[in-house]
Amino acid sequence: MKAWRVNELGEPRDVLALEETADPTPSATEMLVKVLAAPANFPDVLMCRGEYQIKPPLPFTPGVELCGEVVSVGESVTKFAVGDRVIGNPSLPSGGFAEYSVLDQNNTFPAPSALDDAEASALSIGYQTAWFALHRRTQLLEGETLLVHAAAGGVGSAAVQLGKAAGAKVIGVVGGPDKAEYARKLGADLVVDRHSEDFVAAVKEFTGGKGADVVFDPVGGDAYAKSTKCIAFEGRIVIIGFAGGTIPQPALNHALIKNYSIIGLHWGLYKAYNQQAIDDCHIELTRLADAGLVKPLISERLSLTDVADGIGRLGDGTTVGRVVFQP
C-alpha cells in the first residue's frame, strides 16, 4: 500500500515521504480499515517535528483520525464487523495518511450516516475536544458568551458550532479575511480579525462591558494574556493548547482578584481514566449531527498525494478550515 512516512523528525514538507509499504497487521483487538478520508490536525505537524506529547517510533505514518471501512478484524473484536463504516483514532505508528490503517475497537465509533466520509473523518478529535471543553470542563450555559480563539481552525471551528448548538452567543477570533468568512459560515455571532481589530475591545462592546463567560483557547501567548482583560465575573478560560508557540505564565493573583477560573483540558487523558465519557460524547455528537446542528465544514478535499503540502501549510498557519485527504 501507499503511506506517508516520517523517517526523521523535522518540518512536515521536509520529512514526509510517500512510500510503498506492507499493509499494517491488526492485533487481536484491532481492525484493518481501508481509509476513506483523513483530516489534517495540528498534532500531525507536531509529531513530524517531534514536539507532540505522543512520540511514535520512527518510521511512522501520521494522521490521528480517519473515516474508513473495516476490511478485517482481530479475533477479540466484538464491536464491529467487516464492511462497517467507522471513524476513530488510528493505532500509531500506523496513522491515517495511508491507503490502509489499523484502529483499536475502543478508539472506534460508527460513522454518523448524516455525514459524508470527509465530514465524518473530522468529527473525532476536534469535536470531542470542544465538547469536553464546553460541557464537561466549563459547563457552558445557554445565553452565555463564548469567545473562541483560532475559530477557523480544526478544534476552534468545532467549538463555534457546539457553542451555537448549546445556545451560547459566540465570538470567533481569526487571523485574516478568508478565515473570518469561514467563521461566519460556521455561525459565529461576531467575528474579529486579530490582524486588524482589537478583540478585547470587540468583546467588551459586544457584551456591554461584561466580558466573555467562557474563553476557548487553543493558541496561548497573547491570545491568553488579552483574554484575561475581557473575561467576565466568574468566567472560565479553558486551555486547549499552544498553537501560537508560547506557553502563557498565568498571573494567579489576577485570577483571584477578578474571580475567574483557569481550566486545563487534555482530551486524550480520558482514554486512560474515563473511556465511557468518550463513548457518551460520541453518542451526543451523532445526535447533533443527525439533527443538523453540527457538521464539519470542509474547506479543502485533497488527494493522498497532497499530504506533505497540506500538513506543511497547516504548520505555516495558512490553511483555512478543515483540510481532508481522500485516497
pLDDT in tens, 242-287: 988 899 999 999 999 999 999 999 998 999 999 999 999 999 999 9
**What cell does 55 get?**
512520540
d(CA 119, CA 67): 9
pLDDT score for 243: 84
**Nearby residues of 133 by Cβ (< 8 Å), 6 or more positions away:** 159, 216, 238, 240, 265
pLDDT score for 320: 87
Categorize the per-residue pLDDT at 113 as very low, low, confident or very high, splitting at 50, 70 and 90. Answer: very high
pLDDT score for 327: 85
d(CA 21, CA 116): 28
| Domains assigned to the chain | 2-123+296-326 (3.90.180.10), 126-268 (3.40.50.720)
Strand partners, 102: 32
Q: Which of 304, 309, 319 is nearest to 121 (CA)?
A: 304
Mean pLDDT of 108-127: 96
* Model confidence pLDDT, tens digit, residues 48-68: 999 998 899 999 999 999 999
Evaluate whether 283 touches 276 at the Cβ level (below 8 Å): no
Tell me which residue has cell 505555516.
Answer: 316
* Number of Cα atoms under 13 Å in the Cβ half of residue 78: 1
**What cell does 51 get?**
514536539
pLDDT score for 112: 97
pLDDT score for 128: 96
Categorize the per-residue pLDDT at 115 as very low, low, confident or very high, splitting at 50, 70 and 90. Answer: very high
pLDDT score for 245: 84
pLDDT score for 143: 98
Torsion angle (degrees, nearest 10) of CA 147, 152, 158, 159: 0
Per-residue pLDDT for 107 more than 90?
A: yes
Share of the chain above pLDDT 90, in %: 95
d(CA 67, CA 287): 18
Phi, psi of 231 (to 5 degrees): -90, 140
pLDDT score for 16: 98
pLDDT score for 250: 93
Average pLDDT, the chain: 96
Q: Which of 121, 175, 178, 125 is nearest to 148 (CA)?
A: 175
d(CA 62, CA 43): 9
